[in-house]
Chain A
Amino acid sequence: MTALAEEKSGISLFIPEVYDIVWSLIILLIVAVFFYKFFMPKFNAIFDERARKIEGGIANAEKAQADANAAKEKYEAQLSTARVEASKIRDDARTEASHIIADARSRAESDAEQITANAQRSIASQHQQALVSLKGEVGVLATALAGKILGSELQDSKVQSSMIDQMIDHMDASNAGK
């Protein structure tokens, strides 16, 4: 093999060539400048901005949460006062209603009593009137009847009235005797 004759020894791998040094340094310089001046600052800015945004977002969320909690508490307080008010109104209404009912009942009772009293009064007076007029009519009737029975007319009004009175007394006595 002629090719193998050209094979260099392993040591030559470790002997740097001038152009290799030049190109390695140039490339290292370019790459380092790229990373130091552009790549890392750019991404650090991105990371910082992202962190700031996330922190801001968290702060905003916390504020919104606090606002919501405050609003909720406010509404709950309002709701409970409204509830208390409503129950108060209900109680008032109930007591007023019972007052009204009681009033109405007492008025109705007094009205009824009055009506009853009036009715009794008028019944009593009618009864009295009936008694009086009956007394008169019975007297006349009895006189007429007695006259017919006796065949003689009791001319004398004095006798007549005494007879009637006698008869009524008799009737009263018989009534009382019953």
Chain B
Amino acid sequence: MNAVSAGLSLAAASEPNLPSINDFLPPEILFQGTPFAINRIILVRIIATIVLLLVLGRTAAKAKLIPGRWQGVVEYGIEFVRDKVVYDVMGEVRGKRYVPMIATIFFTIFVFNLCGVIPGANIAATATVVMPLVFAVWVLIQYWIVAIREQGLGHYLRHELFTPGVPWPVYILLAPIQLLELLIIRPASLTIRLFANMISGHLLVATCIAFTQYWMVDTVNHLVGVPVGALWFVGAAALTCFEAFVAFLQAYVFAILATVYLNLSYPEE
């Protein structure tokens, strides 16, 4: 980013400082070259994690039988994940043991996504491919474990790859697709859906803000520049609200799909 802005600073008045995918490949700023190198996004992620642990840890440590306002909000979140996500999909009997997992996924992804609209962070902590991927791989491992425990590997694969009630020539096509689905497509779709949403959200908001800056401040002709810039600013404000909604929505989608995949690994009644 610094190289980009240095290059653009001379031409600031003529070109808006538009965001690019370079925002998602920032240079390493700490421990360069080591496996523990930290760039801007990872720094945001670490800070977000610390804030998440401190806030929720403090809430849990001070949790009372009669909840205060903030504890009520947190409890509403927990009950939302437990009742509306896990129990609605799996039922209470199956779902009870997965509530901590889905709660981890939902709360963490939600907070990480929200970093995209928090001033100063301005980028989602889930905006590198690996963060969504590790969540997705966790889900992948979990639903394979569930399948092996509940049905046995042989039964699971036979049932999934050679779904009963289909004429046998179709299996030539169906079985590889199903295997691909179980191994690659499910985690990949979880990863890419979240990651791409965070990228597009950042690009949209940052583009609006860049044009606001360009039209209101950098342009020489303020008579035209200010109204146009004001329109871009309205767009930026609206899209920021929308991104906050998307932050929740993507966390919800990730959590509910993870629950659905876990549930699909149980034998059908």
Contact = CB atoms under 8 A, between A and B. Distances in A.
Contacts of B61: 42
A10 interface: yes
Interface in B17-67: 20-22, 24-25, 28, 31, 34-39, 42, 45-46, 49, 52-53, 56-57, 60-61, 63-65
B126 to A, nearest CB: 9
Q: Is the interface of A mostly helix, strand, loop or mixed?
A: helix
Interface stretch (A1-9, A100-108, A137-145): A1-9
B49 A31 contact: yes
Contacts of B206: none
Interface centre among A25, A31, A35, A47 (most CB of B within 10 A): A35
A40 B99 contact: yes
A13 B46 contact: no
B166 interface: no
Given A13-B21, A39-B57, A24 B49 contact: no
Given A22-B36, A27-B49, A46 B65 contact: yes
Contacts of B100: 35-36, 40
Contacts of B134: 21, 24-25, 28
B3 A3 contact: yes
A52 B4 CA distance: 60
A35 B63 contact: no
Interface of B: 3-4, 7-8, 11, 15, 20-22, 24-25, 28, 31, 34-39, 42, 45-46, 49, 52-53, 56-57, 60-61, 63-65, 74-75, 78, 99-101, 103-104, 107-108, 128-131, 133-135, 138, 195, 199
A35 B102 CA distance: 10
B130 A38 contact: no
Contacts of B74: 43
Given A8-B25, A19-B35, A24 B104 contact: no
A17 B129 CA distance: 9
Contact of A7 (B21, B35, B45): B21
Q: In which size bucket is the chain A interface?
A: 35 or more
By Cβ-Cβ distance, the 6 closest A-B pairs, closest first, are A3-B7, A19-B37, A35-B104, A42-B60, A20-B130, A40-B100
Given A19-B38, A31-B49, A35-B107, 9 more contacts: A12-B25, A19-B36, A24-B134, A30-B49, A31-B53, A31-B104, A34-B56, A39-B57, A43-B60
A34 B53 contact: yes
A17 B37 CA distance: 10
8 contacts: A6-B22, A17-B37, A19-B42, A24-B45, A24-B133, A27-B46, A34-B53, A46-B75
Contact of A20 (B22, B42, B199): B42
B56 A10 contact: no
Contacts of A19: 28, 31, 34-39, 42
